[in-house]
Each structure stands twice: as C-alpha cells, then as structure tokens.
C-alpha cells in the first residue's frame, strides 16, 4: 500500500471478513461515484489504476480487498472489532438505501386490482444485509438519502418503503447523468413519503375524478351501445393532465401539443380541452354542419381540437392532434408539429412549447413507431426539448391480459414493463397506482418539472384498468374472466378517493354528492362545468390557413426567375469559407455549376434543384430537406452541404442566403421511414411557408411508412380538413438494380388519388424539377406533392436543360413531341413518363422511325386531360395511342390512368400498352433479364403493344 492511502489505512477497519461489504460498496461506486465518501472514491480510483472507468473485471479487485483485509486484521488494535461491526452496520444501511432506489419499484403497490404479480426481492429485506430488529432504534448516517443526516433504521425504512414500495414505482437509477439522479432523489425522498397537498387541491382533484366518471356514465346511459372507448378505470388521467397543464404554465410554457389514440379521447376533449358537451352530444346524434359534410369526415374519437384555456391566470394554447386508429402513429406527427412551432418562435430549447404523448401500454411496447419516435428525441433537426409520455396502462391489450409487471415471455411483450423501451433514452419512468390520485398528481409534477429542467423525455406509467370492453359492445369477461370478476367488485377511482377524503375529514358525503349533481346538471344543459375554453384567442404566431385552401391546381404560379437573379444567387452560393478545401470530385461539380450559371454548359438536376431552393429562400420561404442521405444525395448529385477534405468541417451555402437561421435545413436522418416521414408531415401541417421535403434513399423504401401515406398524407384533408404541403422525393427507375431499388410503387400513390387530394409528378428534365419545386410554394395551395425522382437521369446526356429554361416558362404537366417529326405523318403516339422516354427517343432515332410521336406525361395526377386531348387532336392520322411504361403490367401507372387515356379517344383509335409482363415483384434481380425486358418494352412501345380495347 502506498503512502497515498496511509491515512485511509489508519482510519478504516478493513479485514478479510469484510470483503463482501467492500465489493458491495465498490459496486455502488461503479454505479454512482458521488454516492460514496470522497476518501473511498480516491481509494477505488487507486484500485482501478488511477483511471475512472465504467466497468472492470471484479475478481482481481476482490482478491486485492481480501489481501488488504488480512493485512489490516493482523495489525488491528484492541477494540477495533466493535468499530468494525458498527462500520459494517452503517454500510449495510447504505446498501439497503441503494437497493430500494434500484429495485423498490418491483415490489411497489402499483396494480389497483391487485392481480399483477409482485416479485420477491430479498435485497430489500434488512436481514439480507445483516441488519436485525436489534438495530431498528439505532441511529445511522442516511448518506445521500434526502432526509435528516442521521435517523434510526426504523425511520429510514419508513421513508424508503413509503417512497419506493407503496403506490409509486420509480425507475431512474440507470440514468448516466448523476445530476439528474440527484435531482430526482431530492424530489422523491424529500416529499413523496409525505406529499404536501392542500385541502383545496384535494377537492379539485376529486372534482376532476367526478368529471371523468360523470361524463362516461352520462354517455353510457344516453347513447346506449355507441362506441366511445371509455376512460373508466383510468379516470386519474384527468387530474394527471390538469397537473401537466399547471406545471407547464408555471414554467412559462405557452402551448401543449397532445397526441393520443382513442381510449379516453372524448373525456380529454371535454374535461381537459373544454370542448362543449353539446357539440359532443350532437356528434353522437349524427348532427353536423353542412360544410363538414362536404368532406369524408371521421369518427368522433379520431377528431382533433384546438383551443385556449386559462390556467392560474395565464393563457395556455392546447392542441389535440387528429389521429386514425393506428394507435401510436400520431407520435412523430406531434413531434414534427411541435418542432415547427418552436422554430417559428425561435424556441431552441423547447421552453415555450411542450409535446405530450399518451400511449396504451400494449401499443407502447409493441409498435415500432414508438422506438423510432423516441430515437428522434435528441437527434439534431428533430429534438423538441423533451416529451411528457403518459401510458394509460389498463393492463389489457385489445382482449389480451397485459400485467403491469410480468416475467419475460408473456403474450404481449418480452420485457417486464411496457415502458422498458424508453430506457434506451436514459428516460426516467414513474409508475403510479391510478387509484391513488394524490400520488398521480405528485408524480406528474415531478415528471413535468424534470422535462422542463433537463429537456429530456420522461414517462408516467398510469397503472389502472379498463372497466368495460375494448369498445362498449364487447364482453371482456369472455377472454379475461378473473380480471373482470375483480373489476366488477372494485369501486371506481372516484369512489375510492371519496372514501379516503371522507375518512380523513377533508370531504363530507353531502359535498361529494353535490359535486356529482352539479356536473350532471351541467351535462344536461350541454355546458362544460369542468373546464372552460376561451376558444381560439390566437397570438402573433397564429397562422391563417384559409388562403391556402382557396387555391386551385390549375391556378398559375409565377415560377420563372430572371437570369440575372439566378446568376447573382449563384455568385453568393459559390463563395466558400477561406481555406475551405473541397474533395476533388466535389470540386469538379462546383466548377461545372459555375459554368452552368454562366450559360457555358447545360444545367443538370443538382444545379436546378439548388437554384430552386435558393430562389425560394431569397423570396422569404424556408426549406426543410430530410432523408437518410439528403445532404450529399444518395446518387452523389446534390451536395447541399460541403465537407472540408482536410478537417471534415461542414458548410451549407444555402443557409447563408438569409438572415433567418432556419431558412434552409438539410438533414441526414436516422434509418427510419415511418418515424421521420411522420415528423415531416407534422411539420408541414404546421408551417405553410416552409417547403418540407422527405426524400427516400430509394423510392421503394417509402413502403416502410405506408401507414403515414394512407392515413395522413393522402386522406388527411378529406377526413379532417388538414392542409399539408409536404413533398415526397422517391427515386424511381428501372436500371437493373433489382427489386428493392427500382420502383417507388407509383401505382400505390395513384390509387390513393381522388378529389384532387394530392399531385403525382414524374419530371424528366432539370428545368421541370426546378419549376415543380417552386410551384409547390408559389401557388396558394398546400396539398401533398409526390415526385418520382430520377436516378440514372441525373447524369443522362439528354436529360439536361438550358439556363434560359429556368426563366422563360413554368412547369408543363405534359411535354409534347420535341423532335423533327411531321405531325401529319404520325400514325402512332406514344405516351410515357420518366426514364423510358429517353430510351424510346434513342431507339426511334437509331431505327430512323418517322411516324411515331413520343409525348411525356409529367404530371399523372391531377391528370392533364385537356392537354392530353389536344395532343391527340394534333395528330389526325394517328390511330394507335400507346401507353409505355417500364413497370410490370400490374404495376406503374397503366391500370390507374387507363380510363383517363381512353376518355377522349374516338372509335377509330386503338389504345395499346407496352409494359413488362405482370409480376409479383417489382423488378428482376438479374441484369441480363432486365436488359432483355427493357428492350422488349421499348420495342413494343414503338412498334407493337397489346390492346385493351374492343375486348382484345
């Protein structure tokens, strides 16, 4: 032993028999260095060789402790044994405290029904640590326990059990930040075993439980058999949400954006957001405004709501997001909306706007979008300053019993808790018994304050039950007889709390009855007595979306830009920081773009796209471009961000065109489709002046986000009146790269098109791409844009434009024949989209064909019917009208637009199609097969084709 630790040797009793204690204390040090004495910290670092590490092999350390103990015991002075025993007892107490923090939640009383199995945890028994009844009245140091410095073991146990093993189960000791753990300990241990809640607040909580139960009972009796997805059993959600609002307003928060599925949604709408009961009753009775009936609409438990309420003299704006039946799919949508609102306010830390997500327990554990959304929580470009997550843990997933805590391998999950997935974020989890509303309120304020202090996600697991079936027509006792026998006999949360308050003298029976009567009378009048909404008061950040709903698809948009403006913008973009060294390949790209700006060479797709963004930013719009490789571009074509070849420093030229720091954002995202696309959809529904673009690495990969496309992007306006200008860039084209790198599933998007709900475009030139991007923002319309973007065309020698093309015309939904073809001699007109156009032109020129015109449909929906009919009329001798596509017959555009192609044709016309044969996969994985198929498609387009008319 070196002299450095001589003082420790002289003041500490260590011998071989004490090795177990030393190992335990060392484990505590590894878990939290600040929880052990400073001298011991120094000693343990010495054992580790002077370095601070998170884990080391323990066997050599145990051996060293034992050797040190034997040496110390041999030289121990007389009377040291008593000191040793006292030290061992003290350390046993500290271990007992630590084990309660780590494992107390496993024995906590969390299940109101008492059905969820509770573990036997010997670590929480004083006897396990060598403590006995004889030690109960002995005073010990409490260490880091947030109470008095010294207490009897009896009092220490009282605190520990009250805090960690009663109706709150706290999981936080896995957090890596010591400051966060310390903060939680101070709040839990200082207050939780004796929470301070005033009599008035208790009565408010009781009234909220009265409202929660009262609304459900009223609807149950008045609208028998109608679905409402009752909150009953989870009634404590209402005081919980009220406390979220109180805690947030006290922290200066001005907006809450809430996402939740259908369970309890109607209750939240009325009792938290203040929706008029009369309006809700009208929906149950099938009464709607005439303007509402112009849309497809949705069921009442999917609808969103926005309002302002007053909390403690402060105004709070509340938003409940629209949500389909796909449970957790709303999560990233809410986060995207919050991020857009924060950007609008320059709220970088998320101090003014807070997202609140409510989950079902089975859905939180089972839905992949939950993990993707959690993974976004601290990602650059996606962080929102932390989310308050609330699990309405009713212990049953649809019809499958789902215990609050379970051994691994149950039907509904592998992990012990439904919340375990959140631990990947270092997010604390607070389980709380829903039949103890005071504990619910306490935990909620703790969670809200944690979020607003540390700006990280936090989870409240509201452990409750579901009194009725999945919907009110189900009979749950068929699949869960034991649970529902217990539920039938169990008093409601309001009854449980009423009895508690009456027993402690806080509430009289007459008062309890009075609150219930007052609430019921309010419902009879159609009035809300639980929460008064102020309506949409608005503020300087409120956006009027009405002008974006009045535009038309065929309205003109000024997309051309003067040559001088384009050249001035490029001159600003091409300037790099002094000493910035480009990669040689990128340097050549930059040199070519300078020539393009000067008109010295044709412009390519990368230049046209960059200039489209530059012009929008210079005109006051913002641009948000995201995807898994969006900065560089999957096909090495974009280079929105440049990287110094020596230092790796990143520079994004487009960000420097505006003083607004968020005017342009290009972000490479995590490998997520549904999470990221949902986020971008939410962002675009919140900011109409931002060109929001999500780019798939390959268009095929968008099918990982199909729920978002089906339930939000294509139908959000029809169902909910939600405008959205989101653009999806989906690389598409058959180039022999196999089935997962060819088709963006064009047919799926066209199948979803109706009522002019979105546009589907397949631009074939850089200038078309330029004008299409600008049109999306310059037109007074905000509906989705689906783009089949190119791959090989990005460098195709024919797929280029001139600089003048950016300044002298706009986007063309249809591009007619551009070759030297005599219209009067044309016998066949081939219509196509995308890359196959260039294959057709090259083959026609090679073979010297002069009687075939080739026309590009650049916009497949809304279909340019007038331009199509005019084109056919321009070829009077043409009797064969051909649709040519690269995709198999059962895919691509053919079956989705065939009726539109037929509509203007006369009896003398024959409609033909040239496609690959029908296929169960999008493309062949063999290059040789691809080439043979492609040649056949082109040949059929120019000379053959199969007929779909006259029964052929």
What are the tens digits of pLDDT across the range 127-179? 999 999 999 999 999 999 999 999 999 999 999 999 999 999 999 999 999 99
Contact (Cβ atoms closer than 8 angstroms) between residue 694 and residue 726: yes
pLDDT of residue 41: 72
* Token pair in block for residue 3: 């002299």
pLDDT at 688: 94
- Dist CA 887 CA 197 (whole Å): 67
Q: Which of 703, 744, 709, 741 is nearest to 724 (CA)?
A: 709
Residue 124 has pLDDT above 50, yes or no: yes
pLDDT for 281 equals 85
Q: Give the per-residue pLDDT at 548.
A: 86
Burial of 502 (0-12, 13-18, 19+ CB in 10 A): middle
Query: Does residue 852 contact residue 882 with C-beta atoms inside 8 Å?
Result: no
Strands 388-393 and 353-360: parallel
- C-alpha to C-alpha distances, 775 to 295, 690, 732, 758, 793, nearest whole angstrom: 26, 13, 21, 14, 22
What is the C-alpha to C-alpha distance for residues 53 and 51, in angstroms, rounded to an integer?
A: 6
Q: How far apart are the C-alpha atoms of 45 and 480, rounded to whole Å? A: 55
**Interval 362-413: pLDDT, tens:** 899 998 999 999 999 999 999 999 999 999 999 988 887 788 887 766 777 8
pLDDT at position 300: 55
Give the confidence band of 23 by pLDDT, cuts at 50, 70, 90. Answer: low
Who contacts 240 (Cβ-Cβ below 8 Å, separation ≥6)? Answer: 390, 440, 441, 444, 460, 462
- Compute the distance between CA of residue 185 and CA of residue 175 in angstroms, rounded to an integer: 12
Reported confidence tier of residue 838, pLDDT bands at 50, 70, 90: very high
C-alpha–C-alpha distance, residues 195 and 205, integer Å:
14
CB 367 within 8 A of CB 361: no
Q: Which of 180-194, 256-270, 697-711, 755-769 has the lowest mean pLDDT?
A: 180-194
Average pLDDT over residues 175-201: 87
By the 8 A CB rule, do 780 and 852 touch? Answer: no
Taking CA atoms, 336 is separated from 340, 685, 737, in Å, by 6, 9, 33
Average confidence (pLDDT) over 777-789: 94
| Distance in angstroms (rounded) separating the CA atoms of residues 920 and 152 | 74
Alpha-carbon 342 to chain mean position: 16
Task: Please tell me the predicted confidence (pLDDT) of residue 525.
Answer: 92
The per-residue pLDDT for range 639-658, each reduced to its tens digit, is 999 999 999 999 999 999 98
Do 682 and 337 meet the contact criterion of CB atoms below 8 Å apart?
yes
229 torsion bin: left (phi>0), alpha (psi -120 to 50), beta (else): left
Confidence band, pLDDT 50/70/90 cuts, at residue 49: low
Q: What is the pLDDT of residue 196?
A: 76
pLDDT over 50 at 2, yes or no = no
Give me the residues paired with residue 318 across strands: 256, 307
What are the distances in angstroms from CA 231 to CA 360, 364, 471, 884, 901?
12, 17, 11, 55, 52
Largest CA distance in the chain: 120
- CA 832-833-837 angle, to 5 degrees, is 70
Q: What is the DSSP string of 650-699?
A: EE-GGGGGSSSTTSEEEEEPPS-SHHHHHHHHHHHTT-TTEEEEEE-SSG
The half-sphere exposure of 26 on its side-chain side, counting CA atoms within 13 A, is 24
Backbone angles phi, psi at 688, to 5 degrees: -75, -15
Give the mean pLDDT of 825-843.
97
Q: Which residues pair with 730 in a beta bridge?
A: 788
pLDDT at position 302: 64
Mean pLDDT, all residues of the chain: 89
pLDDT at 38 over 80: no
- Residues 6 or more apart from 348 whose CB is under 8 A from it? 342
- Mean predicted confidence (pLDDT) in 336-353: 94
Return the C-alpha torsion angle 931, 937, 941, 945, nearest 10: 150
Instruction: Classify 926 as helix, strand or coil.
Output: coil
- For the four alpha carbons of 6, 12, 18 and 24, in that order, the dihedral sign comes to negative
Q: How confident is the model at residue 940 (pLDDT cuts 50, 70, 90)?
A: very high
Place of tokens 């949705």: 298
Least confident stretch, 361-375, 547-561, 897-911? 547-561
Q: Assess whether pLDDT exceeds 70 at residue 846.
A: yes
Q: E strands of 223-368, at which residues?
A: 255-259, 305-311, 314-320, 353-360
> How large is the average pLDDT for residues 444-458?
97
pLDDT at 400: 79
Strands 910-916 and 946-947: antiparallel
* DSSP codes, 255-294: EEEEE--STTHHHHHHHTS---HHHHHHHHTT---TTGGG
Q: How confident is the model at residue 557 (pLDDT cuts 50, 70, 90)?
A: confident
Q: Say if CB 937 and CB 906 are below 8 A apart.
A: no
Residue 12 has pLDDT above 90, yes or no: no
Nearest CA to 543 among 343, 349, 259? 343
Q: Are 663 and 656 in contact (CB under 8 A)?
A: no
- For residues 241 and 269, the answer to whether their CB atoms sit within 8 Å is no
Q: Position of tokens 């599925």?
A: 261
Q: For residue 58, what is the DSSP state?
A: S
Three-state SS across 533-565? EEECCCCCCCCCCHHHHCCCCCCCCCCCCCHHH
If pLDDT is split at 50, 70 and 90, which confidence band does 226 have?
A: confident
Name which of 463-477, 589-603, 626-640, 877-891 the model is least confident about.
Answer: 463-477
Residue 440 pLDDT more than 50?
A: yes
The arithmetic mean of pLDDT across residues 261-282, rounded, is: 90
3-class DSSP state of 474: coil
pLDDT at 382: 94
What distance in Å separates the CA atoms of residue 216 and residue 264, rounded to the nearest whole number? 9
* Omega of the bond leading into 862 within 30 degrees of 0 (cis): yes
Nearest by Cα to 728 from 636, 634, 626: 626
pLDDT (tens digit per residue) in 276-306 = 888 888 887 777 666 665 555 556 556 778 8
pLDDT band at 9 (very low <50, low <70, confident <90, very high): very low
Q: Are 427 and 456 in contact (CB under 8 A)?
A: yes
Vertex 567 angle, CA 561 and 569, to 5°: 85
564-614 pLDDT, tens digit each: 999 999 999 999 999 999 999 999 999 999 999 999 999 999 999 999 999
Q: Model's pTM, two decimal places?
A: 0.89
In this prediction, residues 197-204 reach a mean pLDDT of: 93
pLDDT class of 272 with cuts at 50, 70, 90: very high
pLDDT at 68 over 70: no
Instruction: Quickly state the pLDDT bin for 56 (edges 50, 70, 90).
Output: low
- Write the DSSP string, 383-415: --S--EEEEEE-SEETTEE--SB--SS-SS-SS
State how far the Cα of 315 lies from the Cα of 526, in Å rounded to an integer. Answer: 24
Residue 11: the pLDDT is 44
Per-residue model confidence (pLDDT) at position 8:
41
CA gap 777, 785 in Å, rounded: 11
Supply φ then ψ for residue 629, to 5 degrees.
-150, 45
pLDDT at 21 over 60: no
- What is the average pLDDT across 933-948? 90
């Amino acid at each position: 032993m070196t002299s450095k630790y001589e003082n420790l040797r002289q003041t500490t009793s260590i011998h071989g028999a004490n090795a177990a204690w030393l190992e335990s204390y060392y484990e505590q040090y590894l878990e939290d260095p600040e929880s052990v004495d400073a001298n011991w910290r120094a000693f343990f670092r010495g054992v580790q060789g002077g370095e601070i590490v998170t884990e080391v092999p323990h066997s050599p350390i145990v051996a060293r402790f034992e050797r040190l103990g034997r040496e110390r015991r041999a030289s121990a002075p007389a009377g040291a044994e008593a000191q040793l025993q006292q030290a061992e007892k003290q350390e046993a107490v500290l271990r007992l405290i630590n084990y309660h923090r780590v494992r107390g939640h496993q024995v906590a009383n969390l299940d109101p029904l008492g059905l969820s199995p509770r573990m036997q945890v010997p670590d929480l028994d004083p006897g396990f640590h060598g403590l006995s009844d004889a030690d109960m009245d002995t005073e010990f140091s409490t260490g880091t326990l947030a109470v008095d410095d010294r207490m009897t073991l009896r009092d220490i146990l009282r605190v520990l059990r009250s805090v960690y093993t009663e109706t709150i189960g706290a999981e936080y000791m896995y957090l890596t930040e010591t400051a966060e753990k310390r903060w939680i300990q101070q709040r839990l241990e200082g207050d939780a075993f004796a929470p301070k809640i005033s009599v008035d607040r208790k009565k408010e909580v009781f009234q909220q439980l009265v409202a929660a139960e009262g609304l459900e009972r009223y609807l149950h009796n008045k609208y028998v058999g109608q679905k409402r997805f009752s909150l009953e059993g989870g009634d404590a959600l209402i005081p919980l949400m009220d406390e979220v609002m109180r805690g947030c307003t006290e922290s200066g928060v001005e907006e809450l954006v809430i996402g939740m599925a259908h369970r309890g949604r109607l209750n939240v709408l009325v009792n938290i957001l203040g929706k008029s009961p009369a309006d809700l009753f009208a929906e149950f009775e099938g009464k709607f405004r005439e303007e509402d009936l112009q849309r497809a609409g949705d069921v009442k438990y999917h609808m969103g709501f926005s309002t302002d309420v007053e909390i403690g003299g402060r105004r709070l704006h509340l938003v409940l997001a629209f949500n389909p039946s796909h449970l957790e799919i709303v999560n990233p949508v809410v986060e995207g909306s919050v991020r857009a609102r924060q950007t609008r306010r320059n709220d970088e830390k998320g101090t003014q706007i807070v997202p609140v997500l409510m989950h079902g327990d089975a859905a939180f554990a089972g839905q992949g979008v939950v993990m993707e959304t959690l993974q976004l929580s601290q990602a650059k470009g996606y962080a929102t300053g932390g989310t308050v997550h609330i699990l309405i843990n009713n212990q049953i997933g649809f019809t499958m019993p789902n215990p609050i805590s379970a051994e691994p391998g149950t039907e509904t999950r592998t992990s012990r808790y439904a919340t375990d997935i959140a631990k990947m974020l270092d997010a604390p989890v607070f389980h709380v018994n829903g039949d103890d509303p005071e504990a619910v309120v306490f935990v909620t304020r703790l969670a809200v304050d944690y979020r607003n202090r540390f700006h990280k996600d936090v989870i409240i697991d509201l452990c409750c039950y579901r009194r009725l079936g999945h919907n009110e027509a189900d009979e749950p006792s068929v699949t869960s007889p034991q649970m529902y026998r217990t539920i039938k006999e169990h008093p409601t949360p309001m009854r449980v709390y009423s009895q508690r308050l009456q027993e402690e003298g806080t509430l009289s029976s007459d008062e309890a009855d009075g609150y219930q009567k007052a609430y019921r009378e309010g419902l009879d009048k159609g009035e809300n007595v639980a929460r008064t909404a102020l309506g949409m008061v608005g503020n300087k950040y409120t956006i009027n979306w009405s002008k974006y709903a009045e535009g038309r698809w065929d309205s003109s948009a000024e997309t051309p830009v003067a040559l001088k403006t384009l050249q001035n913008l490029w001159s600003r973009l091409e300037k790099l920081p002094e000493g910035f060294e480009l990669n040689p390949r990128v340097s050549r790209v930059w040199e070519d773009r300078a020539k393009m700006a000067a008109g010295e060479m044709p412009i390519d797709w990368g230049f046209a796209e960059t200039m489209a963004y530059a012009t929008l930013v210079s005109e006051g719009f913002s641009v948000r471009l995201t995807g898994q490789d969006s900065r560089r571009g999957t096909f090495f074509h974009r280079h929105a961000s440049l990287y110094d070849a020596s230092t790796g420093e990143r520079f994004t030229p487009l960000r420097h065109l505006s003083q607004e720091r968020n005017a342009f954002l290009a972000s490479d995202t995590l490998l997520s489709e549904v999470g990221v696309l949902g986020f971008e959809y939410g962002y675009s529904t919140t900011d109409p002046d931002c060109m929001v673009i999500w780019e798939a690495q390959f268009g095929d990969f968008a099918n990982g986000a199909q729920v978002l496309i089906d339930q939000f992007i294509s139908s959000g306006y029809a169902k909910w009146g939600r405008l959205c200008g989101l653009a999806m860039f989906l690389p598409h084209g058959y180039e022999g790269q196999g089935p997962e790198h060819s088709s963006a599933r064009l047919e799926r998007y066209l199948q979803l098109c109706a009522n002019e709900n979105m546009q589907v475009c397949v631009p074939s030139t850089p200038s078309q791409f330029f004008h299409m991007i600008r049109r999306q923002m310059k037109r007074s319309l905000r509906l989705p844009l689906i783009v089949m973007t190119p791959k090989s065309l990005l460098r195709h020698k024919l797929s280029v434009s001139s600089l003048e093309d950016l300044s002298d015309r706009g986007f063309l939904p249809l591009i007619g024949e551009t070759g030297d073809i005599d219209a009067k001699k044309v016998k066949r007109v081939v219509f196509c989209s995308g890359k196959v156009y260039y294959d057709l032109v090259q083959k026609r020129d090679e073979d010297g064909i002069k009687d075939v015109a080739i026309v590009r449909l650049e916009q497949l929906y809304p279909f340019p019917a007038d331009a199509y009919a005019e084109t056919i009329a321009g070829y009077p001798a043409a009797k064969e009208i051909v649709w040519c596509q690269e995709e198999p017959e059962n895919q691509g555009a053919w079956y989705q637009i065939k009726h539109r192609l037929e509509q203007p044709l006369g009896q003398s016309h024959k409609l033909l199609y040239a496609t690959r044969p029908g296929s169960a996969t999008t493309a062949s994985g063999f290059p040789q097969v691809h080439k043979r198929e492609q040649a056949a498609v082109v040949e059929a387009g120019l000379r053959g084709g199969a007929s779909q008319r006259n029964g052929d």
